[in-house]
Structure 1
Amino acid sequence: MFRKISKILFVLSLVVSVLVTPSALAADKPKVTVTTSFLADMVKNLAGDAVEVEMIIPAGSDPHLYEAKAQDIEKIAQADLVLYHGLHFEGKMVDILEERGQAVTRDFDPASINEMDEDGQKAIDPHFWFDIDLYKQATQAASESLQASFPDIKDQVAKNTESYLGQLDELKTWVADQLKDLPEDQRYLVTPHDAFNYFAKANGFTVIAPQGVSTDSEVSNQQIGETVDFIIEHKIPAIFAESTTNPERMEKLQEAVKAKGGSVAVVTGDDESLFSDSLAPEGKKGDTYITMYQHNINLIVKYLKA
């Protein structure tokens, strides 16, 4: 009889552990809502399993086109801490984010922030993460927010921050090493929209992006013609699609180059497109900041090096 009761209790304990424990643990954890996959990865590196991370814009989605949903507002309202990029990257949610959240770019020196032309107007370039030094600064800001909001895990976050900043230093050294054999006259990066200016400034590239800063803007015939002439003049061997944009526009650019007697490859596909505005979905190649950056560098060197 005793053994039978013990067996029943054991089975019941397993059921309780499966059905109750995860939710109970999740309820005990502080909730951090972030806007993008970049920030989700950043917080996971800094806080590990000590917090529950909620992401608004799904990995692989285009933030320029994303419309906030009712559940997104709920995620923000219920969060213990809200982190967002700033620099108008989340333009369609900016009001509620400024009211409830903390921007990881809040301490950036204005002189370090790029400006770009958008339809004849000056616009702030939000793609700071392609400058590893600026990404480190954003990481430090996120760390400070986490430590101030959750004192119980302050020491853990501080320790993880030091480790992660070291990994980012190693990434910067690796990038320089990979690019050292790519001559200056081959450092031309043609992409659909203007996401790589920070990368270009940090690594000595010239970026051509006929679509401009916004992924939903139209490309004029003049912009296409100028880009085609540039590709032919500089004998650029490859142009790159992005994971969050439609590759058809780059294919049309390829056709226009061919019509003028030139030749250029379009680098596209699940494992070939450049990451720009999002990391890959979890479990896929490029689902962390570091592996995303390595993926991009490998592609650029592979297709631009003569």
Structure 2
Amino acid sequence: MFRKLLMIIAVTMMTACAGNAGNMTSGPTEKSKKLNVVVTTSFLEDMVNVLAGDKVDTQLIIPAGEDPHTYEAKPEDNTKLQNADLVLYHGLHFEGKMIELLEAINAVSVSQNFDESKVGRMEEDGETVIDPHFWFDIDLYKQATKEAAKALQEKLPDLKDEIEENLQAYLKKLDELDTYNREQLNMIPADRRILITPHDAFNYFSRRYDITVKAPQGVSTDAELSNSDMAETAAYIVEHQIKAIFAETTTDPARMEKLKESCKAKGFDVTVVAGEGKELFSDSLAPKGQAGDTYIDMYRHNVDLIVSNLK
């Protein structure tokens, strides 16, 4: 109760001092002379860089490689949010531990205008939960990019045409990425188009490219992972003779090793695809300067890794 009270006080003070972070000013602060944009994840950092480049100052809250599902705002994050001209976040409860804070300052959710029929939902423990991993549906990612562009254009009217030009060029690149993904994934035989990952982050990917996905944990890494979930997944792997399962960059690889041992106990050997450069990106891009540090590079990496191990 005391911790919750402190958070409410902090949010109230931030709101009073900083005003509306989504609509704090009509443009850049005088101090920086550039629009100060704060984003929650590396996906959005890349998105803003594509749209506005060095015309804005972009600050990241959740470091690349960390898990947004479980990340809790630190005091320095509150300072970033307080000084922001614009705050962008995913929405759909992706930033689960920060959602009250983000909503309190009226940050802009890039998923706020999604068609509800396109938003994934799953049954977990008798409840319906929203799947926040929309970026694996390229059409939804394009819409999110348009939403970010609109927010930037409202803050930077003098750069409206430039941002629009960058947006249209990027949308074409995303279409090219979609074509590449389909061509590569079609190389996997029908009976091998099954992707096993640590948590349910790839359902939009499944829907778009007709790949069956299964994971021992739900859409959030904050969800409980039981022994029965592991046993059920192991039984599925053995039944379908799946030769490779994949680790993720933001989850503990030991989880998949445990799954491998469960399969071995049933008399079936499966390969864990893991290690540096051999893990799937799910909830984060790579740190800057590493392979997979942009959305397009991340997606191509994932597709290439999946195809090379399942075909």
Q: 1:100 aligns with which of 95, 103, 106?
A: 106
CA distance in structure 2 between the aligned counterparts of 1:281 and 1:115, rounded to whole angstroms: 30
**197, 206, 225: which is aligned to 2:203?**
197
Query: Is 1:89 paired with 2:94?
Result: yes
Which whole-Å deviations, capped at 9, do the CAs of 1:79-133 have from their partners, x for residues lacking one? 1111110001112211231233111001100000011223321111000000111
Q: Distance in 2 between matches of 1:91 and 1:190?
A: 24
Paired residue for 1:61? 66
Q: 2:21 — aligned with what?
A: none
- Contact 2:71–2:98 (Cα < 8 Å) also in 1: no
Spell out the pairing of 1:90-169 with structure 2 (5 A cutoff).
90-98=95-103, 99-169=105-175
What is the alpha-carbon distance in structure 2 between the residues aligned to residue 60 and residue 47 of structure 1? 24
1:176 corresponds to: 182
Matches for 1:148-297 after TM superposition, within 5 Å? 148-297=154-303
Give the CA deviation at 1:145: 0.7
Q: 1:42 aligned to 36, 43, 47, which one?
A: 47
CA distance in 1, matches of 2:294, 2:275: 19
Q: Which has the higher helix share?
A: 1
Matched residues in 1 for 2:30 and 2:271: separation?
A: 51
Contact 1:254–1:265 (CA under 8 A) maintained in structure 2: yes
Which runs of 5 or more residues in structure 1 are unaligned?
A: 1-23
1:267: how far off? 0.5
2:41 pairs with 1:32: no
Match of 1:298 among 296, 304, 308: 304
Q: 1:184, 1:204 within 8 Å by CA — same for their partners in 2?
A: no
The one-letter amino acid of 1:124's match is I
Secondary structure at 2:128's aligned position in 1?
strand
Q: TM-score, normalised by structure 1?
A: 0.89
Q: Distance in 2 between the 1:81 and 1:111 partners?
A: 28
Moved over 6 A (4+): none
Which secondary structure does the structure 2 equivalent of 1:207 belong to? strand
1:25 is displaced (CA, Å) by: 10
CA positional deviation for 1:26: 7.9
| Farther-moved stretch of structure 1 (221-230 vs 290-299) | 221-230
The answer to whether the Cα contact below 8 Å between 1:171 and 1:290 also exists between their aligned partners in 2 is yes
Q: 1:202 Cα deviation (Å)?
A: 0.4
Aligned residues: 282
Task: Give the C-alpha shift of residue 219 in structure 1.
Answer: 2.5
- Return the TM-score normalized by structure 2: 0.88
CA distance in 2, matches of 1:51, 1:60: 23
**Mean CA deviation greater in 207-216 or 241-250:** 207-216
Q: Which stretch of structure 1 is more off in the superposition, 207-216 or 44-53?
A: 207-216
For residue 129 of structure 2, what is the amino acid of its counterpart?
A: A
Match of 1:80 among 78, 82, 85: 85
User: Among the aligned pairs, what percent are the same residue?
Assistant: 58
Which residue identity is paired with 2:177?
A: L
Q: Which has the larger radius of gyration?
A: 1
Contact 1:26 1:52 in 2 (8 A): no
